[in-house]
A and B are shown apart, each in its own frame.
Chain A
Amino acid sequence: MLGLAVLVAVGSVVGLIAARDDLDRLHFLAPASVVSPVLVALAVVVREALDGRAIKALLVAAFFVVLNPILSQATARAQRVREHGDWRLTGEERR
């Protein structure tokens, strides 16, 4: 599980570097924020059972799972507003 978590994190960083533009780049925030923390938390639970440490690890994973989507939305909006003045689709983009 740890190995898989690290592999997913590696993939996210490679995607961060290699992505074509910022909106594409944001997609690679999700595996590092959702998959890796959950795998690490599960590894801690397997090792420690449900004690204080495992609960804290699960809490960290829960934070990222719930909050990462909100952060992605805010970042994508900021990027669109800076580039186009408004996050909504332009007339040209709608066509």
Chain B
Amino acid sequence: MTGWLVAAAAVLVLVLAVGIVASRGPLMRRVIALEVGGVLVTLALVLLAEGFDRDVYFDLAVVLGAMTFAASLVFVRFLERWL
């Protein structure tokens, strides 16, 4: 098990913790947890890509990074104006 995979495992444990925060409590706290979760999952993908030596996971991480931002922004706009 390389350092990359150990780091990825640690980040995935954090994603679990953030997931618990995102599933309970006040709405805005859950939204912020979701945003942190998106970042951590992207990070985990980069670490796994390097750990498993797979180029395609890097492409996934790039797309997820952009999509995480777009999705969070749309959701937050809805919260501000309509929900």
User: Contacts of A68 on B, CB cut-off 8 Å?
Assistant: 39
- A67 to B73: give the CA distance in the assembly, Å: 10
User: In the complex, which residues 24-73 of chain B have their Cβ closer than 8 Å to any Cβ of chain A?
Assistant: 26, 28-29, 31-33, 35-36, 39-40, 42-43, 46-47, 49-50, 55, 58-59, 61-62, 65-66, 69, 72-73
Q: How far is the CB of A84 from chain B (nearest CB, A)?
A: 12
A13-B18 contact in complex given A78-B79, A82-B79, C-beta closer than 8 Å: yes
In the complex, are the beta carbons of B69 and A67 less than 8 A apart? yes
A78-B65 contact in complex given A12-B36, A53-B50, C-beta closer than 8 Å: no
In the complex, are the beta carbons of B17 and A40 less than 8 A apart? no
In the complex, are the beta carbons of A28 and B55 less than 8 A apart? no
From A16, A53, A78, contact of B49 by CB (8 A) = A53
From B10, B29, B50, contact of A22 by CB (8 A) = B29
Count A interface residues, CB 8 Å.
Answer: 44
From B7, B14, B76, contact of A75 by CB (8 A) = B76
Residue of B nearest to A22 (CB): B28
Binding site for A on B (CB under 8 A): 3-4, 7, 10-11, 14, 17-18, 21, 26, 28-29, 31-33, 35-36, 39-40, 42-43, 46-47, 49-50, 55, 58-59, 61-62, 65-66, 69, 72-73, 76-77, 79-80
Binding site for B on A (CB under 8 A): 2-3, 5-6, 9-10, 12-13, 16-17, 22, 25-26, 28-29, 32-33, 36-37, 40-41, 43-44, 47-48, 52-53, 56-57, 59-60, 63-64, 67-68, 70-71, 74-75, 77-79, 81-82
